[in-house]
Chain A
């Protein structure tokens, strides 16, 4: 079978692209060097979150979050889809002002949110420390187990005639000599290895998961100070970011570091991350941790993923650079990529996601 499209990388982004292209009738070949969903997709938190840093980020995350809602009923139980909602936790009055700003930003764009005062927050999450100012509750945000979703999307693609070649690493685009097939580079943080010139830097993150403590935390909790720390480019940063898993386990994040390509756990960062978590949830230190790990986000200078035709490589399309939001934005990425390949009208403007190199 000669393929119409070759998707390199079966992380959640490649899997979603393969599914969408196969659904549209293309003959798809998926090439994955390791395990399906075994890259950043296995490392991430699986928080599906609508973000508001820029209009383009909002448009992409919002569009994708609605696609997740549509997909939810089809997902296998192992995908652990839970509409737990997000609580953006405000520590002080300054952050409460940010809560109100976010509330009106979302309201103007049709996303329902609720402002919680200190007392509401205490009731919603009794294990948070007392004396926090409040929170913004975003009820439609959700949580999934990303590697299982990636496997499911590959299964869907294969039901629509896609073929999977696992254990094959592409070293150079020239290996894929089939001149008629279009190629999708969905290799995440490794994308520049196959598409030289693409501006993507690995950004390391640490996570830690505990034993089962059902009810200890009920929503995805993110500190609002997160916005400050996630955006400082030069410094290593940590933020309070805690997630309830369906098993009752508590997933604790997260850190952000540039300039490291070594996946080893750095105890210095793990310690800072856990101290930050304990600052917000003092009793978290009594939980027993069972595993810690790291992963690499694929970060771009514009803080938006690349979704579109490579300006340098004929026949190559880029779907990479999703930083810390690739689980959320995977489904919209697949739609927008297929829209361009098939000349369909996209649901949101494409320009902000044009690959830079």
Chain B
């Protein structure tokens, strides 16, 4: 049986395959990641930790680069 991780994104429960990045989980769940200072939705662009467009709050810590963090059971993810 494949291993999975249970995370919450904006308060909703999601189960993802082990090794899924937070960025992939958030996009699969249908959310954008953050709102620009001019109010536009932003999401992962480079996928390799350079562009900073994919920042989300993970376990209360703001501005984490979601493409660089793997989902782990119990993780609380919030987009803005």
A interface, CB within 8 angstroms of B: 211-213, 247, 286-288
Q: Contact check: which of B37, B55, B61 meets A286 at CB < 8 Å? A: B61
Q: How far is the CB of B1 from chain A (nearest CB, A)?
A: 36
Chosen A-B contacts, 8 in total, with CB atoms closer than 8 Å, are A211-B55, A211-B63, A212-B63, A213-B62, A213-B63, A247-B37, A286-B61, A287-B63
Q: How far is the CA of A69 from the CA of B49 in the complex (A)?
A: 43
Q: Which residues of A contact B55 (CB under 8 A)?
A: 211
Contacts of B23-75 to chain A: CB distance below 8 A: 37, 55, 61-64
Q: Which residues of B contact A286 (CB under 8 A)?
A: 61
B67 to nearest A CB, angstroms? 14
Q: Which residues of A contact B64 (CB under 8 A)?
A: 288
Residues of B within 8 A of A (CB): 37, 55, 61-64
Nearest CB of chain A from residue B14's CB, rounded to whole Å:
25
CA distance A197 to B55 in the complex (A): 53
Identify which of B37, B61, B62 gathers the most chain A CB atoms within 10 Å of its CB.
Answer: B62
A247 CA to B36 CA, complexed, in Å: 12
- A-B Cβ contacts below 8 A, count: 12
- Min CB distance A208 to B, Å, is 15
Docked complex Cα distance between A47 and B42 (Å): 33
> What are the 5 A-B residue pairs with the smallest beta carbon separation, nearest first?
A211-B63, A288-B63, A286-B61, A213-B62, A211-B62
Bound complex: CA of A173 vs CA of B44, how far in Å? 55
Which chain A residues lie closer than 8 Å to B63 at the CB level? Answer: 211-213, 287-288
Cα distance, A247 to B61, chains bound together (Å): 18
Residues of B within 8 A of A212 (CB): 63
Nearest B residue (CB) for A286: B61
The docked-state distance in angstroms from the alpha carbon of A287 to that of B61 is: 8
In the docked arrangement, what's the CA distance between A213 and B64, Å?
12
Report the minimal beta-carbon distance from B80 to chain A, rounded to whole angstroms.
10
State A247–B63 Cα separation when bound (angstroms).
Answer: 14
Q: Nearest B residue to A210 by beta-carbon distance?
A: B63
Q: Other CB < 8 Å A-B pairs besides A286-B61, A288-B63, 10 of them?
A: A211-B55, A211-B62, A211-B63, A212-B63, A213-B62, A213-B63, A247-B37, A287-B63, A288-B62, A288-B64
- Give Cα distance in the complex from A188 to B42, angstroms: 42
How far, in angstroms, from A310 to B64 measured CA to CA in the complex? 54
B37 cross-chain contacts in A, Cβ below 8 A = 247
Instruction: Give Cα distance in the complex from A212 to B61, angstroms.
Output: 12
A212 to B52, CA, bound (A): 13
Task: Select from chain A the residue with minimum beta-carbon distance to B65.
Answer: A288
Minimal beta-carbon separation of B59 from chain A (angstroms): 10
Instruction: Report the bound CA distance from A288 to B61 in whole Å.
Output: 10
Q: In the bound complex, how far is the Cα of B37 from the Cα of A247, in angstroms? A: 9
A288 to B63, CA, bound (A): 7
CB distance from A174 to the nearest CB of B (A): 49
Q: What is the minimal beta-carbon distance from B37 to any residue of chain A, in angstroms?
A: 8
State the Cβ distance, A121 to closest chain B Cβ, in Å. 23
Q: How many Å from the CB of B40 to the closest CB on chain A?
A: 15
B62 nearest CB neighbor, chain A only: A213
CA distance A41 to B37 in the complex (A): 26
Residue from B37, B63, B64 whose CB has the most chain A CB atoms within 10 Å:
B63
List residues of chain B with CB within 8 A of the CB of A287: 63
Give the distance to chain A from B61, nearest Cβ to Cβ, in Å.
Answer: 6
Smallest CB–CB gap between A213 and chain B, Å?
6
A256–B23 Cα distance when bound, in Å, is: 41
Q: A143 vs B37: C-alpha distance in the bound complex, in angstroms?
A: 21
Minimum distance in angstroms from A276 CB to a CB of chain B: 22
